[in-house]
Amino acid sequence: AQTVTQSQPEMSVQEAETVTLSCTYDTSENNYYLFWYKQPPSRQMILVIRQEAYKQQNATENRFSVNFQKAAKSFSLKISDSQLGDTAMYFCAFMMGGGSNYKLTFGKGTLLTVNP
Amino acid sequence: NAGVMQNPRHLVRRRGQEARLRCSPMKGHSHVYWYRQLPEEGLKFMVYLQKENIIDESGMPKERFSAEFPKEGPSILRIQQVVRGDSAAYFCASSPGRQVNNSPLHFGNGTRLTVT
Q: What is the pLDDT of residues B62-76, one digit of tens each?
A: 999 999 999 999 999
Of residues B41 and A62, more confidence is placed in A62
Mean pLDDT score of chain A: 93
User: Which residues of chain B lie closer than 8 angstroms to A32, CB-CB?
Assistant: none
CA distance B102 to chain A (A): 10
Of residues B39 and B17, more confidence is placed in B17
> Which residue type sits at A37?
Y
User: Which residues of chain B lie closer than 8 angstroms to A46, CB-CB?
Assistant: 107
Among B37, B50, B55, B98, which would you mutate to test the A interface (most chain A Cβ atoms within 10 Å of its Cβ)? B37
Whether residue A53 is predicted with pLDDT greater than 60 in this model: the reply is yes
Burial group, residue B57, by CB count within 10 angstroms (0-12, 13-18, 19+): middle
pLDDT (mean) for B13-34:
95
The closest alpha carbon to A31, from A96, A110, A113, A104, belongs to A96
pLDDT (mean) for B84-113:
86
Mean pLDDT score of chain B: 92
pLDDT at B40: 82
